[in-house]
Chain A
Amino acid sequence: GAGVSQSPSNKVTEKGKDVELRCDPISGHTALYWYRQSLGQGLEFLIYFQGNSAPDKSGLPSDRFSAERTGGSVSTLTIQRTQQEDSAVYLCASSWDTSGEKLFFGSGTQLSVL
């Protein structure tokens, strides 16, 4: 596709359930980033990938959060045993180089934990 694609666009889940969020970056982009945005707030950095490896996992809020990227393309962010405070928009971005500049964002996944 032409841009970064995220699915689902909306996810409603019950507290304690696991969820998986998907990001399909722009073809050829080697770097991929996950951010989280709570209502009315800025973006909180979670993790980024360079190829399939994740040099920086410092932003993951807890061990319930994990992410992987396979084939240097699609990435999934998994949240286990979801809590209400996990409710937010999860944004994915990709970039063509390692500089971390010029990020292209998807429209995000709105996660609601009831």
Chain B
Amino acid sequence: GENVEQHPSTLSVQEGDSAVIKCTYSDSASNYFPWYKQELGKGPQLIIDIRSNVGEKKDQRIAVTLNKTAKHFSLHITETQPEDSAVYFCVPKGGNTPLVFGKGTRLSVIA
């Protein structure tokens, strides 16, 4: 099965700084790479995703980059704001198996 690692497990940044979370995976059949954000007391929410035929995707302050050769993809958040504080999950997927969530990365944005 897929072996997924996220780094770091916790991250603190000053408001306005950038944050980067990296995800490595093992299954070369993975072809869909989403990031979910979970705020306190809520379920995870899809914030951005990318497919294996694309190297980068941006949506306002967030971006995802994919290096399929090295089997890693990263979430980039620029100009961080307190409302970005949450747990972020990378959930690489191939085939029709259900999404497998790890422990995620806890991001704290300090005002």
Chain B, interface SS category: loop
Partner among B34, B46, B93, B104 whose Cβ is within 8 Å of the Cβ of A42: B104
Residue of A with least CB distance to B44:
A105
Decide if the interface of chain A is mainly helix, strand, loop or mixed. loop
Bound Cα distance A103, B43 (Å): 10
Which stretch, A11-19, A66-74, A92-100, touches the partner chain B?
Answer: A92-100
- Tally chain B residues at the interface, Cβ within 8 Å: 20
Cβ-neighbour of A45 out of B32, B49, B100 (below 8 A): B100
Cα-based distance from A104 to B101 in the complex (angstroms): 14
Q: How many residues of A contact B (CB 8 A)?
A: 25
Q: Tell me whether B89 is interfacial, beta carbon within 8 Å.
A: yes
0/1 per residue, B78-111, Cβ < 8 Å to A? 0000000000010001001111111110000000
CA of A35 to CA of B99 in the docked complex: distance in angstroms? 10
Interface residue B52 (Cβ < 8 Å from any Cβ of A)? no
Known: A41-B103, A42-B103, A100-B93. A107 touches B44 (CB 8 A): no
Seen from chain B, the residues whose Cβ lies within 8 Å of a Cβ on chain A are 32, 34, 41-46, 49, 89, 93, 96-104
**Residues of chain A whose beta carbon lies under 8 Å from any beta carbon of chain B:** 4, 33, 35, 40-43, 45, 48, 56, 59, 91-93, 98-108
